[in-house]
Structure 1
Amino acid sequence: MDQSVEAMNAIPARMCEAWGRGDAAGFYADFADDAELVEFEGTVIKGRETLIAAQQPIFDTVMKGSQLVRGEVRFARIIAPGAGVVHHRAGILLPGESAPLPTRYVMQLFAVVWQNERWQVTALQNARVVSLESAMALDSMAAAG
């Protein structure tokens, strides 16, 4: 298999394709068995099978027919032999929309390791892209609440 940066770059594209199919197993196909995901709000989910089990009902209901679009790898680097990082940005497009709302963009940081003759995601952190103004408005609502 290919240990290049380009091979790491391909992981988010495969995830976007699987999202479009509503395929949680495909979405997490490049994840290590013991991978961890940190969601926007800080929830940590451990293990590829647990990730699949948590994601499939979301694809089957609230995200049914949605797409992960405008995927762009901002950078990918091999940081040590057998270890790399990938920084990816994408937007969530719901059925009937022509472009994602600004509040539905995510930035993802992948930690990948070379094991079992391929790059595998060992950790992924999702971060929502939010303007400073939006963050301050959310803080104001929380303080009032």
Structure 2
Amino acid sequence: MNTEVQNLYTKLIDAWNRRDAKGMSDQFADQGVPIGFDGSKLIGKEEILAHLTPIFLDHPTAPFITKVKEIRSLGIDTAILYAIAGMIPPGKSDIEPAVNAHQTLVAVKMNNSWQVELFQNTPAQFHGRPELVEEMTEELRQLL
């Protein structure tokens, strides 16, 4: 199960990094929900595709650098994945600590296929604790 859930997450992140709205929406369950860094909440593949398509067409989105921290089974057909993520802004070569995030993915197995039921990208700003921002950034830099 862990490998399948890891692969699902990897496909989702790779689609973001390719700026592929269809590739991202395809990873979600029919009523799957992504909650973005800014709090945007979408419901279902069609809404996800409609939201992401103009973003990828009109904005130079930054690619994610991610590290899976834990995958845990919540039953035979459900799992939760926790990861940390950073982004390298277009034209830059280093991670921008201000947009570090915790990512949570809830995966469900339906019709023999793992799909994203919930993906949440939460800012990791650690208010008043800059050492934690730096620690996360350094951990992600090790992946570059």
Fold in common (TM above 0.5) = yes
Q: Give identity over the alignment, percent.
A: 25
Aligned-residue CA RMSD (Å):
1.9
- The 5 Å alignment of 1:1-40 reads 4-40=1-37
In the alignment, the residues of structure 2 paired with residue 37 and residue 22 of structure 1 have an alpha-carbon distance, to the nearest angstrom, of 16
Offset, 1:63: 2.8
In 2, Cα distance between equivalents of 1:100 and 1:62 = 18
Structure 1 residue aligned with 2:125: 130
Alignment match, 1:67 = 63
Distance 1:16 1:37, change over 3 A: closer
- Pairs within 5 Å for 1:83-102: 83-102=78-97
The equivalent residue for 2:102 is: 107
Which structure is higher in strand share? 1
Contact kept? 2:68, 2:82, Cα under 8 Å: yes
* Paired position in structure 2 for 1:44: 41
In the alignment, the residues of structure 1 paired with residue 109 and residue 11 of structure 2 have an alpha-carbon distance, to the nearest angstrom, of 17
Q: Is 1:90–1:106's contact at 8 Å kept on the other side of the alignment?
A: yes
Counterpart in the other structure of 2:135 = none
Give secondary structure in 2 for the equivalent of 1:130.
Answer: coil
Q: Secondary structure at the match of 1:58?
A: helix
The 4+ residue runs of structure 1 with deviation greater than 6 A are none
1:42–1:94 Cα change, 3 Å: closer
TM-score normalised per structure 1: 0.80
Question: Aligned to 1:33, what secondary structure does the other structure show?
Answer: strand
Gaps of 5+ in 1: 136-145
* Structure 2 portions without partners, runs of 5+: 131-144
| TM-score normalised by the chain length of structure 2 | 0.81
Larger Rg: 1
- Alignment partners' CA distance in 1, 2:73 and 2:42: 25
